Amino acid sequence: MRRLVVVSNRVEVAGKKQAGAGGLAVSIQSALEAHGGLWFGWSGEHAAKTSGRVKTHSVENVTYATLDLSTKDYDQYYLGYANRAIWPAFHYRLDRMKFHREDYEGYQRVNARFAEKLVPMLQDDDLIWIHDFHLIPLASELRRRSVKQPIGFFLHIPFPVPEILTALPGHQELVKELCAYDVVGFQTEIDLHAFHSYIEREVQGQVLSNGIVKANGHSFFAGAFPVGIYVENVSALTKDSKNSATAKKMAESLHERPMIIGVDRLDYSKGIMARFHAFEHLLEASPELQEKCLTLIQIAPLSRSKVKEYRELRESISTAAGRINGRFSEYNWVPIRYINHGFKRRTVLGFFRASQVGLVTPLRDGMNLVAKEYVAAQDPENPGVLVLSKFAGAAHELDGHSLTVNPYNTEEIADAMKQALAMPLDERKTRWSGMMKTLRRNDITAWREKFIGALQEAPYSAY
Ligand code: F6P
């Protein structure tokens, strides 16, 4: 078996959990554990001056290699072009996009540094798999340094339609850099279609019916590879949540009252504000749910707090939670439990199982593995209902079984919550089994094997 070399912005070293690493870390960890190999990226640390040394650490069949960033690199590459320009633009939030030339230069500079540090660690037979929007230029930088091994790229976030993408300064270079890969993977057919449109309209490239794209003098494969979850692992951890004192205390604290749960990094793409407004609307329109002391638990660990937009979001969401709680709370009931820190995975899965509704309403999301894990954590004999945004990648697989909503329409979300809370057991079971079939078919193994399979077929230059 060829060695797998994974590169991502953050590296989650086994046993040293970084806060907020999210679905990407879980997916990569599981791909690497199954295959063995090297995981290379940023350590999560930054300082005015760094040694530039790559630190390595091996756990079983995986070697973790990390480097620190200088504060300038962190500001320009991570906070700057990646999170203030690409992130909002790719999530259709041009109103939040901020562009500075020096940020773009920092982004290119850090990608060049990653390439320079990675090259001496590569072996001839490696398969190189690069992840996410921070590292789009990396293949070009590696090729510039004579790397010949197959290089694939997987985008965990949405890929916007050309009308949006062309508003991002640097879009021409980004797409050119994407065309340097052998395999380019997206979460959904919608993202793939948006990429194809750009290729055909903006660079006069060709999209063949077998998935091959010819553009910028290179042929490569572009496809949709929806990220899945490790269903058995989620089920086992959920069973184990019975031993979690926190999950038990949380369930006791509800006194068998109904509960709705949301779990998201505190990010403007997640639609938390609209969700709170929908919950307020629901309580207002349904006094019987006030009598039943319906509770919304929103877990929202802080994220990217150095970016102004994220600090402002924190302010406005806290204010909204306080206002709604002030309006409806009683001496023995607080309707929204709003929590700004994360919990252990098995504890969150225990919370999922204790809830009647999983509320996953991002305004735009690449996939959203919370939606999938919510479903896999349910009790087959008494499953909860998933209310899911039509703009989450997961909706392309779960629609028809989830209650799918427009996350901008707060009344529609409120109606869906009400419908979910009143849904008969038979219907809940039918919807749940439908979703579980999909989760098992498109699980994490299928994702990994499909992508690595495509990468093993490279090069595609003969097409
Ligand atoms: O899924 C998108 C993503 O940006 C990942 O690349 C990252 O691991 C996660 O969200 C958390 O974001 P950050 O690394 O900026 O905290």
Distances (CA, A) of 454 to 2, 14, 63, 181, 463: 14, 27, 24, 12, 14
Residue type, 24: L
Ligand 1: which residue has its CA nearest to atom 7? 21
Distances (CA, A) of 147 to 34, 120, 144, 215: 25, 10, 7, 20
Q: What is the dihedral of CA 434, 444, 162, 170, to 10 degrees?
A: 160
Strand ranges across the sheet with 218-224: 55-59, 62-70, 37-47, 4-10, 127-131, 151-154, 183-186, 218-224, 212-215, 206-207
Query: What atom in ligand 1 is closest to the CA of residue 9?
Result: 6
**Residues 248, 200 share a domain:** no
Higher per-residue confidence, 106 vs 463: 106
**Residues 259, 126 share a domain:** no
Query: pLDDT, tens digit, for every residue of 328-337?
Result: 999 999 999 9
d(CA 448, CA 225): 9
Q: Is residue 463 part of a domain?
A: no
Q: Is residue 98 part of a domain?
A: yes
Identify whether 264 is a catalytic site residue. no
> What is the residue-wise DSSP string for 229-264?
--HHHHHHHHHHGGG-HHHHHHHHHTTT--EEEEE-
So what's the pLDDT on residue 15?
Answer: 66
**Residues 199, 50 share a domain:** yes
Beta strands per DSSP E along 241-330: 259-263, 295-299
For residue 225, count CB atoms less than 10 angstroms from its CB and return exposed for 0-12, middle for 13-18, buried for 19 or more.
buried
Maximum Cα interatomic distance, the chain, rounded to a whole number of Å? 72
Region 358-370 average pLDDT: 98
**Residues 133, 202 share a domain:** yes
**Residues 374, 452 share a domain:** no
d(CA 25, CA 286): 40
Query: pLDDT, tens digit, for every residue of 297-319?
Result: 999 999 999 999 999 999 999 99
pLDDT-based confidence at residue 26 (cuts at 50, 70, 90): confident
Q: What predicted TM-score, i.e. pTM, was given to this entire model? A: 0.96
**Residues 317, 213 share a domain:** no
So what's the pLDDT on residue 291?
Answer: 97
High-pLDDT (> 90) share of the chain, % = 93
Sort strands 183-186 and 206-207 into parallel, antiparallel or unpaired. Answer: unpaired
Query: pLDDT, tens digit, for every residue of 397-445?
Result: 998 999 999 999 999 999 999 999 999 999 999 999 999 999 999 999 9
Give how many domains the chain has, as a whole number: 2
Q: 209 CA distance to ligand 1 centroid (A)?
A: 33
Query: pLDDT, tens digit, for every residue of 233-269?
Result: 999 999 999 889 999 999 999 999 999 999 999 999 9
Q: 221 CA distance to ligand 1 centroid (A)?
A: 25
Residue 18 has pLDDT above 70, yes or no: no
Q: Is residue 317 part of a domain?
A: yes
We report the CATH number of the domain holding residue 165 as: 3.40.50.2000
Ligand 1 site, residue 22, Cβ cutoff 6 A: yes
**Residues 312, 193 share a domain:** no
d(CA 20, CA 305): 12
So what's the pLDDT on residue 12?
Answer: 85
End-to-end CA distance of the chain: 26
Contacts for 413 with CB less than 8 Å, ≥ 6 apart: 274, 275, 278, 359, 361, 387, 405, 407
**Residues 333, 205 share a domain:** no
Q: Is residue 372 part of a domain?
A: yes
d(CA 19, CA 31): 20
Ligand 1: which residue has its CA nearest to atom 14? 21
So what's the pLDDT on residue 17?
Answer: 53
Residue 356 has pLDDT above 60, yes or no: yes
So what's the pLDDT on residue 31?
Answer: 83
State which of 156, 191, 304, 368 you would mutate to test the pocket of ligand 1, scoring each by most atoms of that ligand within 8 A of its C-beta. Answer: 156
Range of the domain at 92: 4-228+444-456
Higher per-residue confidence, 16 vs 324: 324
Q: 21 CA distance to ligand 1 centroid (A)?
A: 6
Q: Which of 365, 401, 415, 443 is catalytic?
A: 365
Query: pLDDT, tens digit, for every residue of 105-153?
Result: 999 999 999 999 999 999 999 999 999 999 999 999 999 999 999 999 9
Q: 408 CA distance to ligand 1 centroid (A)?
A: 23
Ligand 1 site, residue 132, Cβ cutoff 6 A: yes
Ligand 1 site, residue 434, Cβ cutoff 6 A: no
**Residues 274, 189 share a domain:** no
Ligand 1 site, residue 454, Cβ cutoff 6 A: no
Q: Is residue 291 part of a domain?
A: yes
Q: Which of 131, 134, 156, 196 is catalytic?
A: 156
Q: Is residue 462 part of a domain?
A: no
**Residues 166, 26 share a domain:** yes
Q: Is residue 461 part of a domain?
A: no
**Residues 434, 413 share a domain:** yes
Identify whether 365 is a catalytic site residue. yes
Q: Is residue 353 part of a domain?
A: yes
Residue 368 has pLDDT above 90, yes or no: yes
Residue 20 has pLDDT above 50, yes or no: no
**Residues 284, 197 share a domain:** no
High-pLDDT (> 70) share of the chain, % = 98
So what's the pLDDT on residue 312?
Answer: 97
Ligand 1 site, residue 24, Cβ cutoff 6 A: yes
Query: pLDDT, tens digit, for every residue of 32-48?
Result: 988 889 999 999 999 99
d(CA 224, CA 196): 12
**Which of 294, 298, 321, 323 has its CA nearest to residue 417?**
294
Query: What atom in ligand 1 is closest to the CA of residue 19?
Result: 16
Ligand 1 site, residue 303, Cβ cutoff 6 A: yes
Both tokens of 20, joined, read: 């907020």
